[in-house]
Structure 1
């Protein structure tokens, strides 16, 4: 996938651990919260569009945890940064997490397939039961495996909360070409870049993309002033105004929802209010 944009702080190392403790510890210091905003949205989308969910750039299955369990993002931060958790061996944490998630499973839980380039993250999410299937594949550089193509065939909703900056039309073309029926695509997109190239690709598969540029959600705080300067300049370059958002110290994201024309009878705002 693409490199982290110059000027933005990379967090690559937190995705290479065998469990999510470094993920929550590292991002928690900067108040990362996109999955929190996505939780209620994704539940409404699943209620309107039943079926299997495919979470792109799924990392340790955080979106699956929030979608299918009686949990909040704050619950996960508290769990994985607690002193007792830091002392556990990985195998012991995995065993405890199996029970933790199983005991909090919602009655309306849906199958979730995860795709990410981090093998440790995928392996953990599958091992503890957050993902029904996981694929360590980079669709930006190669074709989807036959197994992923088969899994994507049953998908009704594709979600992305933290990876659009690293994706191009290539990934979405492969997934939508494999789908039996056109899935909905819900993506939280940082205002530092454009979603146009992906929206155009989705349109080739018959999907109409809607977004409310005036309604944004906080992603996380900037790590330093250099990162803030980068974000303010990048947002300005897209033609948007960073005043009151990025100028106040945080990345902001906009939700883009893509659907077949026949499904547009359900108002965007009724599905996406966060």
Structure 2
């Protein structure tokens, strides 16, 4: 879930605004209407990165039965899956789900249209994608319209993987994350990697307000080495208000970062982390 976490629908996580209510809807229209004014854009930046990572990871399994699956953590309505496997852009999705002619549709009508829409735009190099998010309505919609090959609402912060997720983990070769670094911890990644049966890569975009080091340590314990792209940052979205901006500036400084020309200019920014099996 790009901007959510368990708990109240209002308030904040350490000063960060929450959007829990847009994940409890039966379809993604409220999600896009709410995030459009905030110019939420991190899935757009992740699209080419995840496509390349999925291609490179699949190449390692040439000659093995079945392509390695991608597991998108905090997947919400399957936005990353849509962008990974279909000839669509994030801008296309904002326009689609905010359009007046779709606001009067029932969820069933929208889902029927979406299923056809994405099937027509499916890329020939599409890979299996599994989705993990505690927001059950969101993952169920993504599964219904064909964006996800399997969907799980397990909360790995609180409990071990369900039998279904454990079976799915045996097929996973790449784990992706955008925006969920504020809500999942090393507990989630430890549970995922404990259940892995293939070599797993991790590609993650994490807000600069959050320390990713505990997760990096958990990945290292499973034989993964992590690099961070320090050459640039990736804008995530506008701040909801001055309170949230103050929180972000203070959090970035506390982690040793410089908010100048980034958070000070009114947006959250993320760093890109890539984790791969250590070579010997």
TM-score using structure 2 length: 0.92
Tell me if structure 2 keeps the 8 A contact 1:115–1:134: yes
Aligned-pair CA distance for 1:193: 1.2
Q: Distance in 2 between matches of 1:211 and 1:6?
A: 24
Shift of 1:6: 2.7
- Note the alpha carbon deviations across 1:48-82, whole angstroms, 9 max, x for none: 00121000000000000000000000000000000
Match of 2:224 among 207, 210, 217: 207
Contact 2:6 2:20 survives alignment (8 Å)? no
Task: Please name the residue that 1:61 is paired with.
Answer: 78
Select which of 169, 187, 191 maps to 1:170.
187
In structure 2, the residue matched to 1:48 is 56
Kept in 1, the 8 Å contact 2:83–2:89? The answer is yes
C-alpha contact (below 8 Å) 1:25/1:80 kept by paired residues: yes
Give 1:1-274 correspondences, 5 Å limit.
4-50=12-58, 51-262=68-279
CA contact (8 A) 1:161 1:188 kept: yes
Q: CA deviation at 1:213?
A: 2.7
Residue ranges of structure 2 left out of the alignment (5+ in a row): 59-67
Instruction: State whether residues 36 and 72 of structure 1, in contact with CA within 8 Å, keep that contact through their aligned partners in structure 2.
Output: yes
2:62 corresponds in structure 1 to none
Aligned-pair distance for 1:29? 1.0
Query: Normalized against structure 1, the TM-score is what?
Result: 0.94
CA distance in 2, matches of 1:78, 1:232: 31
Residue of structure 2 equivalent to 1:268: none
Q: 1:182·1:205 contact (CA, 8 Å) conserved in 2?
A: no
| Over 2 Å off, 4+ runs | 1-4
Q: Distance in 2 between matches of 1:120 and 1:181?
A: 29
1 CA distance for matches of 2:186 and 2:254?
Answer: 21
Secondary structure in structure 2 of the residue aligned to 1:55: strand
How many residues matched?
263
Q: Residues of 2 paired with 1:207 and 1:230: CA distance?
A: 32
What displacement does 1:164 show? 1.0
Task: Name structure 1 gaps, 5 residues minimum.
Answer: 264-274
User: Cα RMSD (Å) of the superposition?
Assistant: 1.2
